[in-house]
Amino acid sequence: MTSGGSYINEIGFWYQPGWIITEVEGSELLPSEFSLAQNQPNPFNPVTTIRFGVPEKARVTIMLYDVAGREVRKIADEEFEPGYHERVLSASGLGSGVYFCRMVSGSFTQSRKLLLLK
């Protein structure tokens, strides 16, 4: 162990004593805005997870549409508390192809493209 100035070297690693930890890995902060994340996995078969963030208590509708714009499935249509949420989408009864997941809450609207491979 050697030191010089305000830095310390231990086994080849230099660091400054007294660094402040500003965030703990895995901490769950509330979202600052509505968000719809890309589904995981994508492409998927037979299930995928839809994750979304809600900054305030609000009614959220998430629908699945085919490429022709027809409503295929309702994923969520309820009031959510602030935080990060997820829903699992099962592709049972759906054919391979491109689908669109659309989240709407008040004036917020966001869509993601999903690819189902069977």
pLDDT tens digits, one per residue of 2-47: 445 555 555 555 545 555 555 555 556 889 999 999 999 999 999 9
What domains, with CATH codes, occur in the chain? 35-116 (2.60.40.1930)
Q: Minimum mean pLDDT among 3-12, 34-43, 58-67, 105-114: which range?
A: 3-12
Is the model's pLDDT at 71 over the cut of 50?
yes
Buried b (16+ CB within 10 A) or exposed e, 56-74: eeeebebbbbeeeeeebbe
Note the pTM of the prediction, 2 decimals.
0.74
Task: Mention every residue, 6+ apart, whose C-beta is less than 8 A from residue 90.
Answer: 46, 47
Mean pLDDT estimate for the chain: 85
Is 70 in a helix, a strand, or coil? coil
Helix/strand/coil percent split, the chain, to 5 = 0, 55, 45
Tally the residues of the chain.
118
- Segment 69-87 shows an average pLDDT of 96
Is the model's pLDDT at 54 over the cut of 50?
yes
Is the model's pLDDT at 78 over the cut of 60?
yes
CA 47 to chain centre: 16
Q: In what order do the strands lie in the sheet with 7-10?
A: 2-4, 7-10, 13-15
Is 75 in a helix, a strand, or coil? strand
